Chains A and B, each alone.
Chain A
Amino acid sequence: MARKNRNPVGKNVDPEAQKKKTRTLTLKSSDGQEFSISESAAVLSIAIENMVEDDCAGGVIPLPLVDGGTLARVITYLNKHAEDGASDEEKRKFDEEFVSGMEMGVLFDVVLAANYLDIRGLLREVRRRIADRMKNKSVEWVRKTFHIESDFTPEEEEQMKKEFAWAWEGVDSDVDD
């Protein structure tokens, strides 16, 4: 984003940035789907930027840790953030809507992809969203959502629950929103 802000619309645009806008890269997901994306959008991912700089791209960039569905979502995000003339307010609104409809499983996929691709803004947004969803949930909901088996004995669990009993007050129902 910093890269883009240095070249606001209508100002003297440096030729290198212009070239990036027209040049397209192909990203290949773990399940073999290919996506075209402008270089200026793709390099918002630090990991992709490094691959492009090292010139190891060779036309198609394989992303073996990201499946097609997740990659499509990530590309939607990158395109919006590379869009000319999109104000900070617009982007903030987009980010809000982008994550609001996602199920927890999808949020996890996206957070892993954002982490792997090193997309700081997306990572921050999704982390915040996951935390918001978890905030008022029960321990059972967390275990179910994160696929965790309790390794406490019932006595241990009871003991811990007693210590901070007030923290169990006002917990939401386990229905996922």
Chain B
Amino acid sequence: MKCLESSTCRLYLPRELLSEVLTRLPVKSLLRFKCVSKLWVDLINCPCFIRSHLDNSKRRGRINIKIGRGFSISNYFHTLHLDLGNGYKAEARNLTLPLDHHGLVAGTCNGLVCLLGPPHEPVVFWNPSTQQYRHGPLLESYECGFGYDQNSQDYKFVTVVTGNFHDRWQTCKIYSLKSSSWCYQHDFYNDLFLVSTLVFASSVVHWVYSNRFGDRGSIVAVDLGTNKAPRSLSFPPGPFQYRFVKNWKLDSLNDSLCALYYDYNQQVDVWMMKNADDKSWGKLFSLSASVDILSWSPGLVAYAEDGRKVLILNHGVLQWYDIEKEKVVNDVDVLGDGDGDADSDSSIHETFTFYESLVPL
């Protein structure tokens, strides 16, 4: 500390302070600054630095939203960049995909994106911030999800492979990125059909099963950390009209599981699992939605920085829903839409959020 007084080493920062400054830098700057010295490269590659950089990224609340616009095929990844503190305007950006024909997103987690391509081709894991990617297992089914297992500190890819209609065998398989191999498999026979996408929340992957008529089913949950058989969760408690299992859609917000019920009275009820231990549901809000409710199913995107508003996808538009005022307060304007292709429809069909992250692949 004597150093402080001599002018020649005035610019010395202790490692801890330096690290705190560096966690505030964009990934691009950090990749460049790995060249500064061996100490800097060690610091930037350190798993605890990567973790705090990611936490900072999340706290700063600048998210990238991958937006889907129907089935347009292009080599670009249409994204919006949005500040959750002041999210009235989103900046459109196009990212170049690492591989052609791998433009379908199975899930995002901690800045990593899991991309799907044609059947029987490898699944691709991609970090858009560092532009690194790697191959995963061959694609067997489009019922896929991607998430982080807190327990083993490992990223995992989950897929549910359904046999043909007659034999009704289904297999849930989990692939570990750490070991680059399948680490879990559970076969089960049932007369139910998978009707939702796979949703990750708190190291657990969830989906909805329904019978052929859509009036009986359950939420299935597989804990990534254990090798236990899938378990069932009950749907949020509710009125008689909640009986149509097919009208449930799962989603997640802040790593909590959410369930949305689409009522034919043009209302969507949004529930959140408040406590993962006792599986208690709490209702977040209800939204009046459009007539065409099934083709324009609303989705949850993110909480505002102050936690009072939720960014939702409603009828192809991103909107802020104010929980206290119980209404949509404003739409998000999209600036500088770099949509180069002939896809003139600017409606958004799906969203996946990801943060700037150094997580290596």
Q: Chain A: residues with CB nearer than 8 A to chain B?
A: 30, 65, 67, 104-105, 108-109, 111-112, 115, 127-128, 130-131, 134-139, 142-143, 145-152, 157, 160-161, 164, 166-168, 171
Size band of the interface chain B makes with A: 20 to 34
Closest A residue to B13 by CB, please name it: A108
Grouping DSSP codes into helix (H, G, I), strand (E, B) and loop, the A interface class, with mixed when no group exceeds half, is: helix
Question: Using a CB-CB cutoff of 8 Å, which residues 30-64 of chain B contact chain A?
Answer: 31-38, 40-41
A166 to B31, CA, bound (A): 9
Q: Chain B: residues with CB nearer than 8 A to chain A?
A: 1, 4-5, 8-14, 17, 20-22, 24-26, 28-29, 31-38, 40-41, 130-131
The answer to whether B32 touches A150, judged by C-beta atoms less than 8 angstroms apart, is no
Closest B residue to A131 by CB, please name it: B24
Report A-chain residues with C-beta under 8 Å of the C-beta of B41: 160
Shortest beta-carbon distance, B83 to chain A, in Å? 15
Q: Can you name 7 A-B pairs with beta carbons within 8 Å?
A: A127-B21, A135-B25, A135-B26, A135-B29, A137-B29, A160-B35, A164-B34
The residue among A136, A147, A150, A164 with the most chain B CB atoms within 10 A of its own CB is A164
The answer to whether B36 touches A168, judged by C-beta atoms less than 8 angstroms apart, is no
A55 to B237, CA, bound (A): 59
The answer to whether B11 touches A127, judged by C-beta atoms less than 8 angstroms apart, is no
Report B-chain residues with C-beta under 8 Å of the C-beta of A157: 35
Shortest beta-carbon distance, B247 to chain A, in Å? 45
The answer to whether B11 touches A171, judged by C-beta atoms less than 8 angstroms apart, is no
Report A-chain residues with C-beta under 8 Å of the C-beta of B17: 111-112, 115, 127
The answer to whether A111 touches B36, judged by C-beta atoms less than 8 angstroms apart, is no
The answer to whether B29 touches A161, judged by C-beta atoms less than 8 angstroms apart, is no
Closest A residue to B16 by CB, please name it: A115
A145 to B38, CA, bound (A): 17
A89 to B36, CA, bound (A): 38
Which one of A67, A112, A135, A150 lies within 8 Å of B13 (CB-CB)? A112
Report B-chain residues with C-beta under 8 Å of the C-beta of A151: 37-38
The answer to whether A167 touches B36, judged by C-beta atoms less than 8 angstroms apart, is no
The answer to whether A65 touches B36, judged by C-beta atoms less than 8 angstroms apart, is no
A147-B11, A151-B38 known; A30 and B31 CB under 8 Å?
no
Shortest beta-carbon distance, A127 to chain B, in Å? 5
Shortest beta-carbon distance, B302 to chain A, in Å? 22
